[in-house]
């Protein structure tokens, strides 16, 4: 049913194309975790770090075990100088991983 969303961010001509694609996916299913995470990744790649954090916040709210979302949010926080928060996210992602 959701197989059309399994494009990678790198499959798009630009980060903006990816953002538009995942935004449409979120409109179709506001609880689709991977769409938030991948849109956040696209935002990170074009330097929209605060917007990346917002999307990863939503992915984490929907799935507190989404290790990649913690990692991505940590990278974005590092980029804007929130070093303590970045380290906290890296640890949260590490602890959330499957054993």
Task: Report the Cα–Cα distance between both ends of the chain, in Å, rounded.
Answer: 29
Asked, for residue 70, whether it belongs to a domain, the answer is yes
The domain in which residue 94 lies consists of 31-99
Asked, for residue 15, whether it belongs to a domain, the answer is no
Full pLDDT tens readout for the chain, 99 residues? 344 445 555 566 677 888 998 999 999 999 999 999 999 999 999 999 999 999 999 999 999 999 999 999 999 999 999 999 999 999 999 998 877
Q: Let me know: does 9 contact 31? Beta carbons within 8 Å.
A: no
Q: Let me know: does 89 contact 70? Beta carbons within 8 Å.
A: yes
The count of structural domains within the chain is: 1
Asked, for residue 76, whether it belongs to a domain, the answer is yes
Tokens of 92: 């949260």
Asked, for residue 63, whether it belongs to a domain, the answer is yes
């Amino acid at each position: 049913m959701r197989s059309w969303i399994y494009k990678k961010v790198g499959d798009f001509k630009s980060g903006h194309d990816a953002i538009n694609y995942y935004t449409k996916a979120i409109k179709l299913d506001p609880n689709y975790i991977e769409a938030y995470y991948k849109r956040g990744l696209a935002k990170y790649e074009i330097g929209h770090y605060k917007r990346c954090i917002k999307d990863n916040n939503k992915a984490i709210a929907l799935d507190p075990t989404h290790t990649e979302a913690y990692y991505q949010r940590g990278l974005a926080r590092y980029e804007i100088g929130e070093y303590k928060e970045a380290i906290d996210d890296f640890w949260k992602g590490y602890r959330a991983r499957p054993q």
